[in-house]
């Protein structure tokens, strides 16, 4: 890495560690000054130039050799997930997000409504602090940077300490593409190593907007920082397999979704709830798709290893099936499977099989009927994941609508592989993202997928229209009739 190709913000301090007088606030203040200067030079009044900058960021990770290199680096850096899944994630999420962003206007006059006397103008929110997780140390920084620059902003990335090397390389690539396209490199910066809580907190405190994906501790700290904050809630997705479901199709989709990136996604299925009348057939379909049905003894062995001292065991988090099976002490047949099914009769609490597992362990519940299935799903969400998502495999859309109307989540996916559909897909209407809000149920400020609209301010030009004033009878007539004047 040369001085020319590396941002000053990326270069480590002299020596192996942080100097004793390292001042997080001073360092972040310097980055923000550079970001504001870059915004002043950014042609963010010109939608075409903004779109060129966004495309440059997308190409920095979508470029096939970069997508693979960053995937390999991420697995080496974090020990989480698998390379092929991360290649797909680096490519597919980026391409889908680029598609979404190229279809909208975000600067200048972005919408005109003459019949309402309104013209809306998009304006930058300022310098964005992007706190990113170790599960997606390349894809998430690019995803957030694309949205930030689409709004005319600059962004400073706070990497997870566990994925810092990957994120720094990702930012280097983004800056290089910006330079090629004639844009200020300091539109994208990263906190210098070693990143710690004090440095990340200073970023949260000092930027104009902070967007946090990952640690719920970081989300809570951002909300308390006094800075306008967008955080996302934890996933723990339960999926109902209804009596009318195509069991083979459902099993194949559940398998593909569960094993993607070794279940690091917040949208990965953590529990499947199967109606009684198709239970054995559905479990058989899951076995055929690649699942291993654990015995009671094997289930106990998994439970004893999965949590250590009240936290998930890093030896099994996001590990390949053969590695996890060995750590769990499962037989050789389990190691050649794709994921492990443990059957539960009741929904437990935290650190039970009802909790988020971030591993290839899938909890299976048997429901008496659809009402009971909804009860189980709700109980699971109250352990972890309220507000995030549920799924259902069914041919009965009335049941899908019932689930959506009665469950406190932002997303209900029907007959889809959850990991591939929840954060946007080419065959559904959800915006592509790697950050999914859970509404007030999850303590979040957004109840939708993070998207470009969260990175702009809107000025409304208001002119007069023909008076729109209804009569008193229209407004109060029903009330007067029912309750008197």
Based on the residue annotation, tell me whether 266 is a catalytic residue of this protein. yes
Residue found by looking up tokens 């967008």 in the block: 230
- Candidates 280, 277, 283, 276; CA nearest to 250 is 283
Residue (of 377, 299, 304) closest to 340 by Cα position:
299
Q: What is the DSSP letter of 432?
A: P
How far is the C-alpha of 157 from the C-alpha of 9, rounded, in Å?
Answer: 10
Question: In Å, what is the CA distance from 467 to each residue of 24, 116, 119, 459, 475?
Answer: 55, 11, 18, 23, 16
Task: Say which DSSP state 449 is in.
Answer: B
Q: Give me the DSSP letters along 77-124.
A: HH--S-HHHHHHHHHHHHHHHHHHHHTS--SEEEEEEGGGTEEEEEEE
* Residue 211 · residue 130 · CB < 8 Å: yes
**Helix ranges restricted to H, 317-468:** 321-328, 332-335, 370-383, 397-406, 418-421
Q: Which residues contact 52 (CB under 8 A, 6 or more apart)?
A: 181, 183
Q: Residue 47: CB partners within 8 Å, gap ≥ 6? A: 105, 106, 107, 108
Instruction: Return d(Cα 156, Cα 199) in angstroms, integer.
Output: 12
For 283-303, give one letter per residue: b (16+ CB within 10 A) or e: bebbeebbbbbbeeebbebbb
Q: 194: cis peptide before it, omega within 30°?
A: yes
Q: Token pair of 418, please?
A: 């959850």
Could you give the C-alpha distances from 456 to 152, 381, 389, 438, in angstroms and in order? 8, 32, 26, 20
Helix, strand, coil content of the chain in percent (nearest 5)? 45, 20, 35
d(CA 175, CA 152): 16
The residue assigned the tokens 């809570």 is 220
CA nearest 70: which of 55, 87, 84? 87
Of 132, 255, 266, 294, which is the active-site residue? 266
Active site residues: 266
């Amino acid at each position: 890495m040369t001085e020319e190709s590396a941002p000053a913000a990326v270069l480590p301090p002299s020596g192996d560690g942080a100097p004793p007088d390292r001042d997080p606030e001073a360092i972040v203040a310097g980055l923000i000054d550079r970001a504001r200067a870059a915004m002043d030079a950014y042609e963010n009044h010109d939608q075409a130039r903004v779109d060129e900058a966004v495309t440059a960021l997308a190409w920095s990770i979508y470029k096939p050799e970069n997508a693979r290199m960053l995937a390999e680096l991420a697995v080496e850096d974090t020990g989480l997930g698998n390379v092929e899944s991360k290649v797909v994630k680096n490519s597919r999420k980026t391409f889908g997000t680029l598609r979404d962003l190229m279809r909208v206007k975000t600067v200048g006059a972005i919408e005109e409504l003459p019949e309402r006397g309104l013209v809306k103008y998009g304006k930058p929110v300022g310098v964005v602090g992007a706190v990113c997780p170790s599960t997606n140390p390349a894809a998430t920084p690019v995803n957030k940077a694309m949205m930030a620059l689409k709004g005319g902003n600059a962004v400073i990335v706070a990497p997870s300490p566990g994925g810092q090397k990957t994120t720094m390389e990702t930012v280097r690539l983004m800056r290089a593409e910006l330079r090629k396209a004639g844009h200020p490199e300091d539109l994208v910066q990263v906190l210098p190593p070693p990143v710690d809580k004090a440095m990340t907190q200073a970023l949260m405190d000092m930027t104009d907007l902070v967007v946090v994906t990952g640690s719920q501790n970081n989300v809570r700290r951002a909300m308390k920082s006094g800075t306008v904050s967008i955080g996302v809630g934890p996933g723990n997705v339960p999926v109902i397999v209804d009596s009318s479901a195509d069991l083979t199709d459902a099993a194949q989709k559940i398998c593909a979704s569960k094993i993607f990136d070794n279940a690091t996604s917040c949208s990965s299925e953590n529990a499947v709830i199967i109606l009684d009348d198709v239970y054995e057939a559905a479990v058989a379909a899951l076995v055929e798709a690649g699942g291993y049905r654990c015995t009671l003894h094997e289930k106990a062995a998994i439970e004893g290893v999965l949590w250590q001292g009240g936290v998930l065991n890093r030896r099994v988090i996001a590990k390949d099936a053969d590695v996890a099976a060995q750590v769990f002490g499962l037989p050789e047949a389990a190691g050649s499977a794709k994921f492990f099914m443990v059957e539960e009769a009741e929904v437990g609490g935290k650190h039970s099989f009802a909790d988020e597992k971030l591993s290839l362990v899938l909890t299976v519940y048997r429901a008496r009927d659809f009402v009971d299935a909804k009860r189980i799903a709700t109980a699971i969400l109250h352990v972890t994941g309220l507000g995030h998502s549920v799924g259902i495999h069914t041919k009965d859309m009335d049941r899908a609508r019932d689930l959506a109307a009665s469950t406190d989540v932002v997303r209900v996916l029907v007959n889809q592989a959850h990991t591939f559909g929840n954060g946007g897909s080419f065959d559904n209407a959800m915006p592509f993202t790697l950050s999914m809000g859970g509404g007030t149920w999850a303590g979040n400020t957004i109840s939708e997928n993070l998207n470009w609209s969260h990175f702009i301010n809107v000025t409304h030009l208001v002119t007069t229209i023909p008076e729109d004033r209804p009569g008193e009878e229209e407004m109060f007539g029903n009330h007067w009739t029912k309750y008197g004047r």
